[in-house]
Amino acid sequence: MRSEARLGWMLVAPALGVIALIAIFPLGWTFWESLHLHELRMPWLGKPFVGAGNYVEIAKDPRFWSALGHTAFFTFVSISLELLIGLFLALAMNRAFRGRGFVRAAVLVPWAIPTVVAALLWRFIFESQGGIANELLVNVGILDQPIVWFIRTWTAWIPVILADVWKTTPFVALLLLAGLQNIDLTLYEAAAVDGANPWWQLRHITLPLLKPAILVTLIFRTLDGFRVFDLIYVLTGGGPGTTTEPVALYTFNALLQNLRFGYGSALSVVIFSVTFGIALLYVKGLGVKLAGDER
Partner 1 sequence: MSAPRINWGWWAMTGVLGALMVFTLFPFYWALVSSFTPDAALFRDPSLWPREIILDHYRALFDERDFFTPIRNSLIVAGTTTLFCLTVGTLAAYALARLEFRGKAAIMAFILAVTMFPQISIVSPLYLLLRSLRLIDTYPGLIMPYMTFAMPLTVWVLTGSIRQIPRDLEEAAHVDGATRRQSFTRILLPLAVPSLATTGILTFIYCWNEFLFALSFTLGPERQTVPVAIALFRGQYQVPWGQILAAAVIATAPVAAMVLLFQRRIVQGLTAGAVKG
According to CB under 8 A, which residues from 108 to 127 bind partner 1?
A: 108-110, 112-118, 120-122, 124-125, 127
> DSSP letters along 126-187, please?
T-TTT-HHHHHHHHHTS-SS---GGGSHHHHHHHHHHHHHHHHHHHHHHHHHHHHHTS-HHH
Window 235-254: residues binding partner 1 (CB under 8 A): 248, 251-252
Q: From the CB of residue 287, how many other CB atoms can be counted at a distance below 10 Å? A: 7
Window 40-69: residues binding partner 1 (CB under 8 A): none
Residue with Cβ nearer partner 1 (145 or 197):
197
177 CB-side CA count, 13 A: 19
Task: Tell me how many residues contact partner 1 (CB under 8 A).
Answer: 105
Least separation in angstroms between residue 87's CB and partner 1 is: 12
Phi, psi of 254, deg, nearest 5: -60, -40
Name residue 260's beta-bridge partners: 39
Window 139-198: residues binding partner 1 (CB under 8 A): 166, 171, 174-175, 177-179, 182, 185, 188-189, 191-192, 197-198
Sign of CA dihedral 271, 272, 274, 279: positive
Would you give the binding string for partner 1 spanning residues 265-284, x where CB under 8 A is met?
A: x--xx-xx--xx--x-----
CA separation for the pair 116, 244 (Å, rounded) = 17
Length of the chain: 295
Phi, psi of 205, deg, nearest 5: -110, -60
Our finding on whether 71 is near partner 1 (CB under 8 A) is no
Helix, coil or strand: residue 289: coil
Least separation in angstroms between residue 260's CB and partner 1 is: 10
Of 57, 155, 209, 227, which one interacts with partner 1 (CB under 8 A)? Answer: 227
Least separation in angstroms between residue 60's CB and partner 1 is: 21
Of 27, 77, 81, 209, which one interacts with partner 1 (CB under 8 A)? Answer: 27
Of 44, 96, 129, 144, which one interacts with partner 1 (CB under 8 A)? Answer: 129
Our finding on whether 131 is near partner 1 (CB under 8 A) is yes
